[in-house]
Amino acid sequence: MYQFLNVHPEGKLVPDCVKRAITKAAEMDYHEVQLELNRHKKLTGAKVFNEDKNWKSYIENVLNGTKMSFPATKGMPRMNGKRFSIVYPKGRYILNMAGHLSCCIDGVIYDTWDCSEKCVYTAYEIKPQMKHYYTVSKVRNENLYTINVYEGTDIKTFTADKSEIKGM
Q: Encode the chain (168 residues) as per-residue pLDDT tens digits.
A: 899 999 999 999 998 999 999 999 999 899 999 999 998 988 888 999 999 999 999 999 889 899 999 999 999 999 999 999 999 999 999 999 989 999 999 999 999 999 999 999 999 999 876 555 556 565 666 667 767 676 665 677 777 766 665 554
* Alpha-carbon span 37 to 44, nearest angstrom: 10
Backbone phi and psi for residue 150, each to the nearest 5 degrees, phi listed first = -105, 120
pLDDT at 162: 64
CB 97 within 8 A of CB 115: yes
pLDDT at 131: 53
Residue 51: burial class (beta carbons within 10 Å; 0-12, 13-18, 19+): middle
Length of the chain: 168
From start to end of the chain, where are the E strands? Answer: 2-4, 66-69, 92-97, 100-105, 108-111, 120-125, 132-139, 141-151, 154-161
CB 122 within 8 A of CB 67: yes
| The amino acid at 43 | L
pLDDT at 55: 93
pLDDT at 166: 55
- The pTM of this model reads 0.74
* Alpha-carbon span 1 to 3, nearest angstrom: 7
Q: What's the N-to-C CA distance of the chain in angstroms?
A: 50
pLDDT at 129: 60
pLDDT at 157: 74
* Alpha-carbon span 97 to 57, nearest angstrom: 17
